[in-house]
Structure 1
Amino acid sequence: MKHSGLEEFLRATPVIDCNNPAVTAKARDLAAGAFGDVAVARNCFAFVRDEIRHSWDYQANPVTLSASQVLEHTTGYCFAKSHLLAALLRANKIPAGLCYQRLKNHGTVGPEFYLHGLNAVWLNEYGWYRADARGNRNDVHAEFTPPKECLAFVPQEPGEEDLTGIFSDPLPAVVDVLTKYTDYLQVRENLPDV
């Protein structure tokens, strides 16, 4: 299917390495038996949300950045998980980008505010649809229910916001943190902000 004007959201990059053999194999596997872009995208979303451990929730290393690293180690912060979801979707010829929220940190570790990474997926029937595969827990519940968004977090407090835009590549601050630090706790202590 032709996606005019959406080519940048289909390309492989060093971080969203949708041309990596392991990523393309997993993308094919997740698309098998699914009919249409919504069904394929839902399968990819559920896999990343449920089968890839959130680094902070599970206190898991190593720190991952690229989609192929996240897939190999089955762990990643929200940003890294969004990189894998984007890569799986792109490998299935579904345009996918990255979105960010600025959230208040209610924990005891890390900065007062931090960025949270999620995805925007181009669905032929609905257009851009935001989805958050960070992983559910008792206080976090995200689903893939287009056209209705069901995100992990909704910015409400002063200083919190949905950042404007859909990005084809991760923000440099995100890449910097996930490249610079080698331990999940170091990442948490130095989460990026805008």
Structure 2
Amino acid sequence: MDFDAEPWDYLGADEAVDVEHPVVQTLAARLRTGDDRAFAEAAFRYVRDEVTHCVDAGDRRVTWRASDVLEQGTGFCYAKAHAFVALLRAGGIQAGLAYQRLRDGDRFVLHGLAAALIDDRWVLLDVRGNKPGIDVEFSADEDRLAFVPDAALGERTYPTVHAAPHPVVLDALRSSDDALALAASGLPGEL
């Protein structure tokens, strides 16, 4: 993995990963009942299971700020990753954002992931949410992804862990007020 910032930046806050927000702080404190591994798993399960993927749920709301994702209980994979990263950082775990380029019919779309430093090892974790055909569990020992890129199709997992959401992703989320319309034709396909 490559990193686009200094180590301490993976504990910091920004507009989308609003670590200091009371909603984030309160939930992180509630989930923090054990060591880093137990906390990371609790946060993973919470975001994966309690925050719906807006497209899976048919929810038109577009969220992008971690606190809004947690309050409204919905978001794209990117937004869910923002929420997961904010919770981890609020609990003192270094975390960042990562992306995949995946084929969706005749186009590429970006898929959002989280990366976390757990037990001195960075792992990629996918909190998009399970559904038929997708079953992702937590692991502190290896990457766990909902989608395995097929290089022959031009798919890939980008190697960089970002301290803040990529501007291409944030611009797409901010520019829409309809998640289903955004999913149909407006998701970014390339970093």
**TM-score, normalised by the number of residues in structure 2:** 0.92
Aligned residues: 183
The partner residue of 1:178 within 147, 152, 173 is 173
Structure 2 distance, partners of 1:57, 1:71, is 17
Structure 2 distance, partners of 1:9, 1:126, is 14
Overall identity of the aligned pairs, in %: 39
Matching of residues 6-85 of structure 1 within 5 Å: 6-31=7-32, 33-34=33-34, 36-85=35-84
Match of 1:104 in 2: 103
Structure 2 distance, partners of 1:103, 1:126, is 29
Unaligned runs of 5+ in 2: 1-5
Structure 2 distance, partners of 1:88, 1:143, is 18
> Tell me, what secondary structure is at the counterpart of 2:182?
helix
Letter aligned with residue 186 of structure 1: A
Matching of residues 108-127 of structure 1 within 5 Å: 112-123=107-118, 125-127=119-121
Letter aligned with residue 100 of structure 1: Y
Structure 1 distance, partners of 2:142, 2:175, is 36
Structure 2 distance, partners of 1:68, 1:61, is 18
The alpha carbon displacement at 1:148 in A equals 2.5
The alpha carbon displacement at 1:127 in A equals 1.4
> Tell me, what secondary structure is at the counterpart of 1:88?
helix
Structure 2 distance, partners of 1:61, 1:191, is 14
Matching of residues 123-138 of structure 1 within 5 Å: 123=118, 125-138=119-132
> Tell me, what secondary structure is at the counterpart of 1:121?
strand
The alpha carbon displacement at 1:82 in A equals 0.2
The alpha carbon displacement at 1:6 in A equals 1.7
Structure 2 distance, partners of 1:14, 1:28, is 21
Match of 1:190 in 2: 186
Structure 1 distance, partners of 2:142, 2:124, is 9
Structure 1 distance, partners of 2:88, 2:114, is 10
* Ranges of 4+ aligned residues in structure 1 off by more than 6 Å: none
| Bigger mean CA deviation after superposition, 46-55 or 184-193 | 184-193
Structure 1 distance, partners of 2:21, 2:156, is 34
> Tell me, what secondary structure is at the counterpart of 2:138?
strand
Structure 1 distance, partners of 2:36, 2:167, is 30
The alpha carbon displacement at 1:146 in A equals 2.2
What value does the CA root-mean-square deviation take over the aligned residues? Answer: 1.1
**TM-score, normalised by the number of residues in structure 1:** 0.91
CA contact (8 A) 2:62 2:178 kept: yes
Letter aligned with residue 101 of structure 1: Q
CA contact (8 A) 1:126 1:146 kept: no
Structure 1 distance, partners of 2:139, 2:164, is 25
Structure 1 distance, partners of 2:182, 2:94, is 29
Structure 1 distance, partners of 2:60, 2:153, is 32
